[in-house]
């Protein structure tokens, strides 16, 4: 996480492939609210304490957006 956030790039393993992606910090309160609501809807009933811990402002401010990158 730290390196990806600092460098603005990362590599994601998908099946037998590695995909190079760009990384951007998300500074969008509305998007973070929507993601938090989706987490709560999906996981809240079965794991309410864990879910609430994952959607605190301290956690949501670490949200990163992965973007596609053209092959080199």
pLDDT-based confidence at residue 70 (cuts at 50, 70, 90): low
Closest CA to 26 of 36, 41, 40: 36
The answer to whether 22 and 65 have CB atoms below 8 angstroms apart is no
SS3 47: coil
Q: What is the mean pLDDT of residues 68-72?
A: 67
Q: Using one digit for the tens of pLDDT, what is the confidence trace for 1-28?
A: 999 999 999 999 999 999 999 999 999 9
Q: Using one digit for the tens of pLDDT, what is the confidence trace for 28-50?
A: 999 999 999 999 999 999 999 99
User: How high is the mean pLDDT of the chain?
Assistant: 93
Question: Model-level pTM?
Answer: 0.74
């Amino acid at each position: 996480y730290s390196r990806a956030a600092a460098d603005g790039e990362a590599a994601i393993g998908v099946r037998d492939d590695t995909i190079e992606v760009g990384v951007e910090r998300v500074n969008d309160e509305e998007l973070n609210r929507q993601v938090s609501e989706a987490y709560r809807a999906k996981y809240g009933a079965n794991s309410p304490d864990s879910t609430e811990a994952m959607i605190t402002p301290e956690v949501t401010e670490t949200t990163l957006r992965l973007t596609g990158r053209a092959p080199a």
